[in-house]
Structure 1
Amino acid sequence: MTGPYAEVIGDPISHSKSPLIQKFWLRALGIDADYRATHVTPDALPAYFAERKDDPNWRGCNITVPHKVAALAHVEDHEGVRAAIGAINTVIRADHGVLVGTNTDAAGFAAPLSGFDLAGKPVTVIGAGGAARAVLFALTGIGVGPVTLLNRNVEKGAALLSSFGLDGQALPLDGAVPPSALLVNTTSLGMTGQPSLDLDLSALPEHAVVYDIVYAPLETSLLAAARARGLATIDGLEMLIGQAAVAFALFFGAEAPRDRDAELRRILLG
């Protein structure tokens, strides 16, 4: 490929909507560059970064499951992301082929929550992977109250809460959802091709917010259950577009045209 480009990597990767988003913004701004999806398996990750760092046209990549933690081993950590979050979702090719890792997930996750009063309020988080790390980092900045973390491996969940200095408890994935002002699914459960996430939401108060970072499909069983109860919901496109905008500026040196979000959402849903 000739000319500047960036890409998104993962395993699987066919579900990713990142190319649609980034190409929409490139066209809108008249920037002559490309963005693509590339399937990279865990075994191929070291070779992928070794090859890309020598390509002057490569601006960087977004990272999706399962590479958000493993990719840290292949990049410079100029922002202290390893200590602060423990996972990256974006890599930038800096001067002389230096690869620098960062995380735009935290900012993308937090943006849609700005209109809700969550300070000191109890929160429930599902999952303990790379996305959960970004979410917990953002929640510490918001100053939420106790956090209940549901995960298959309870010890991993407890260790993750401790690493962020968050008060709360870790429960198994099938544990009861406690009363919470916010419930967040950070897992791939509910994604196309994955088992659904079926939770009993009856303990959530009527003012609770249910946030599912899955975006394929956009209407997950979790969000459908929340809407059936009349709860406020935030879908995965909110976080996806938010984090993508931060990455776009890093890749291409221009601010994403967020005034066209409504048009972009229609394209993504089509």
Structure 2
Amino acid sequence: MMKTPDSAFAPPQIITGKARLAGVLGWPVSHSRSPALHNYWLRRYGIDGAYVPLPVRPEQFEAAVRGLQAAGFRGANVTIPHKEAACALADRLDPSAQRAGAVNTLVFEEDGRIRGLSTDGGGFVASLEAGGLPVPASGRALLLGAGGAARSVAAALQDRGVQVSVTNRTQARAESLAAVLPGLEVVPWEAWEAGLGAYDLLVNTTSLGMEGGPDPMFRPSLKAASRALVVADIVYVPRLTPLLAEAEQHGLKTLGGLGMLLHQARLGFREWFGQDPVVDAETEATVRATF
């Protein structure tokens, strides 16, 4: 069993009336380890602040964001199912969010405007590299899903020369994604398993397989995969998703979603709390200890 780092049990920072506040908006949000991660960094760097989970229904999303802004929050992360709504709500989009058409990080500016960023794609690529699985330049990747995370990951992979295909249970959503990311190929959902031999990288960007999600037992067949296929899942609860378990049974290299969580969080933390945090072994161990 992994030893929990002593810093995970360090006394909490004293919260004052000047505390910097941020959080994560999602529905559901109980699975999120972002509060554990950001509050660990707040303790580590001695910052007067707090980061909280914010369960918000889709129909209440805009009202919740406006309320957080009025209450003095510095911003928030955005997770399923709000990433595209956050993009529409933002007054200004950074280039990453413009390219992806989705937002996972909101920054409340001093002039009252809301700035949207997309750090998912960069975080995913960084997690690949940290795991010793470099992006397959000029290779082929297949993404499961066509939501906000898929948009960001697809754009980041395309920017690195990867030929990206996408498949989604509702094909119209996949086609909509292809319309905003030129060069993206759409694969019918019922055909992707049989065509796995053509890909170097498979990425599940959906909530399929997530604990408490729509299909926690999601375990597609990987029989047609080449031995060189890398299988990644952005779901990190559970740590070993059914998809990753299936990949391991076929002897394929795998990448869980925790690394993406850690790396995508850095930019938001820097924006809200004024410190560029380090992703290291202690950071990962602290978050792993919450599983």
Which interval holds the TM-score relative to the shorter structure? over 0.9
1:113 corresponds to which of 115, 121, 128: 128
CA distance in structure 2 between the partners assigned to 1:212 and 1:16 by the alignment: 15
Paired amino acid for 1:141: D
Counterpart position of 2:12: none
User: What do the CA deviations read for 1:162-220 (whole angstroms, capped 9, x no partner)?
Assistant: 42112433212564242210000000000012312221212222121100000111110
| 1:156 is aligned to 2:156 | no
- Name the counterpart of 1:34: 50
Counterpart amino acid of residue 42 in structure 1 = P
Q: Contact 2:120–2:264 (CA<8 Å) still a contact in 1?
A: yes
Structure 2 residue aligned with 1:143:
161
Q: Secondary structure at the match of 2:289?
A: helix
Q: What is the total number of aligned residue pairs between the two structures?
A: 267
- The aligned counterpart of 2:230 is 209
What's the counterpart of residue 189 of structure 1?
208
Residue of structure 2 in register with 1:132 after alignment: 150
Report the counterpart of residue 7 of structure 2 in structure 1: none
The aligned counterpart of 2:109 is 94
**TM-score of the two chains, using structure 1 as the length reference:** 0.92
Q: Does the Cα contact within 8 Å between 2:135 and 2:157 map onto a contact in 1? A: no
Matched residue SS, 2:41:
helix
How has the CA–CA distance of structure 1 residues 262 and 152 changed in structure 2, closer, same or farther, with 3 Å as cutoff? Answer: closer
User: 1:123 corresponds to which residue?
Assistant: 141
- 1:6 is paired with a residue whose SS is strand
Structure 1 window deviating more from structure 2 (127-136 vs 80-89): it is: 80-89
Sequence identity of aligned pairs in percent? 36
Q: 1:96 to 1:117 in 2, by over 3 A?
A: closer
The CA deviation at 1:255 is: 1.3
For residues 221 and 179 of structure 2, the distance between their equivalents in structure 1, rounded to whole angstroms, comes to 26
* Partner of residue 248, structure 2: 227
Deviations 1:85-129 (A, max 9, x none): 110001011113221111111111111223425112121110011
Partner of 1:65: 80
**Residues 78 and 72 (structure 1 numbering): CA distance in 2 closer, same or farther, change over 3 Å?**
closer
Residue type of the alignment partner of 2:267: V
For 1:263, the equivalent position in structure 2 comes to 285
Distance 1:162 1:100 in 2: 24
Contact 1:54 1:97 in 2 (8 A): no
**Please, which of 35, 39, 43 is the counterpart of residue 59 of structure 2?**
43
Taking structure 1 as reference, are residues 222 and 12 closer, same or farther at Cα in structure 2, changes over 3 Å only?
Answer: same
In structure 1, the gaps of 5 or more residues are: none
